[in-house]
Structure 1
């Protein structure tokens, strides 16, 4: 009994230490943003005296509210589009049988292994011909399909009880009705976990918006470039904007935390 308690205490100490190591960069980010401009490079672990000067400087330099709104819109549309397409594709791959099904599935998932740099140029040329360069629509459109999302959801779909689907078909329900009234309500945890992963990925994206938005800082990650110059980087305002960029993702995680934990727990059950 004593050995088990010691092991449990050691495990908790290890987890606590790991949590501190992982959380420290976030703490240092906010600590730096709250220092006075002349103390930005200070190595003191505590920002004292606390000053909002960096946030005021950042607000004068860029439109923080506009950048946050644009980034939230892009991330939401991208994540929602990927989730919807992945849901429909994974349902078809898991619930239907058709010729060359496995080959098509492997080819679809195989697109996940194609580097983004390979598809970047064709996407850019297509957006240029459509007149969507330097627009938020051009940022979102090429990201609406995610092979990784299909792969993850298909695994959950494959383990879904086929008896429930068969019973719904006997009741006369269509495939569309079965998907939204039988399958989706039982995959809320998996969908929530996947949604937050897709949202965070779209929220943190820098390279593709930098390619499409040539003449504007339409999203928050590009707005951070405003604090970088040949005369030196403005670390205080940059940390302030970066800290604000973390808050929506943290709020989303806290909102969906229970569903995310349940999804990972269920994924390990047979």
Structure 2
């Protein structure tokens, strides 16, 4: 007695088609999101080259590109001085946050105090305090110290940050304690251990913190707005506000100034693209 059993039909083409369609769908979504992210930057760049009579044109490229908006920005506002001030403030702020964060993190990890957990908790809680809460006390203190309308006044209040301490603290906890003990047995002091042993082996966390702190300081707006009086002592974010008046916004010069303000950060990103992405991933920021 024989029974005919139908063999299961196979569709080799379908086995390869489904993964291909899945990859195409994923890449299609990624391309769409990339276009949505890049298009505002492209529109800002194109608008900066539009003449006054084409500012509200919907064309993807101006019919008669001009540098009038850039000339207007560079002649009416000390934009180059503001850019230089912003670079100084961002670089100094990032550097000081790395130094103070490293010192505080090393103290919390190396020296086990009775209230070290409380100190760590207070540092973490201070990170949750909104800037608007500390803005007025910092302004009063800066006024009493004579730091109004100075670059030092923009740098010193941001010289330390809870985020820097916490990031370096968790990175330093994973540092091998045997190496520190061996260095101490050899007679190395705490300062030598920190700067000659710990710091050279923590390049990735320090680079991550430096990039994030630099970008954060570059984009700072409210504190320079509160502290600055003269354009030549201010930063580029305040320079953008000068093209927004009650009579109306000067869209062409505003877009030109925005391009100049964004150019250094874009250059930093293009040069250090891999490090920037790794810094955001390792810091837990999405």
Contact 2:212 2:279 in 1 (8 A): no
In 2, Cα distance between equivalents of 1:19 and 1:159: 36
TM-score by length of 1: 0.90
Aligned counterparts of 1:213 and 1:21: Cα–Cα separation in 2? 35
Aligned to 2:110: 95
Q: Which residue number in structure 1 is paired with residue 119 of structure 2?
A: 104
Distance, in Å, in 1 between the alignment partners of 2:110 and 2:62 is: 56
Q: In the superposition, relative to structure 1, how do residues 170 and 13 fare at CA in structure 2: closer, same or farther (>3 Å)?
A: farther
Alignment deviations for residues 26-73 of structure 1 (CA, whole Å, 9 cap, x no partner): 111111112222211112223343221111111121112111111111
1:245 maps to: 261
* d(CA) in 1 for partners of 2:277, 2:177: 25
Point out 4+ residue stretches in structure 1 off by more than 6 angstroms.
Answer: 265-268
- Name the CA distance, whole Å, in 2 between partners of 1:168 and 1:96: 16
Q: Which has the higher helix share?
A: 1
SS in 1 for 2:272: helix
8 Å CA contact 2:208–2:283 kept in 1: the answer is no
Cα distance change, pair 15–35 in 1 and its aligned pair in 2 (3 A)? same
Q: Which one of 163, 180, 183 corresponds to residue 165 of structure 1?
A: 180
For residues 111-139 of structure 1, the C-alpha deviation after alignment (integer angstroms, 9 at most, x for no partner) is 11112122112111111111111211111
Q: When the two structures are superposed, what TM-score results if normalisation uses the length of structure 2?
A: 0.85
Which sections of structure 2, spanning at least 5 residues, go unmatched? 1-14
2:79 is equivalent to residue 55 of structure 1 = no
**Is the counterpart of residue 72 in structure 1 residue 72 in structure 2?**
no
Preserved CA contact (<8 Å) 1:138 1:212: yes
Q: CA deviation at 1:246?
A: 0.7
SS in 2 for 1:49: coil
Equivalenced residue count is 268
Contact 1:78–1:140 (CA under 8 A) maintained in structure 2: yes
Cα RMSD (Å) = 2.1
- Measured in 2, the distance between the counterparts of 1:111 and 1:192 equals 23
Structure 1: runs of 5+ lacking an equivalent:
none
Alignment match, 1:227: 243
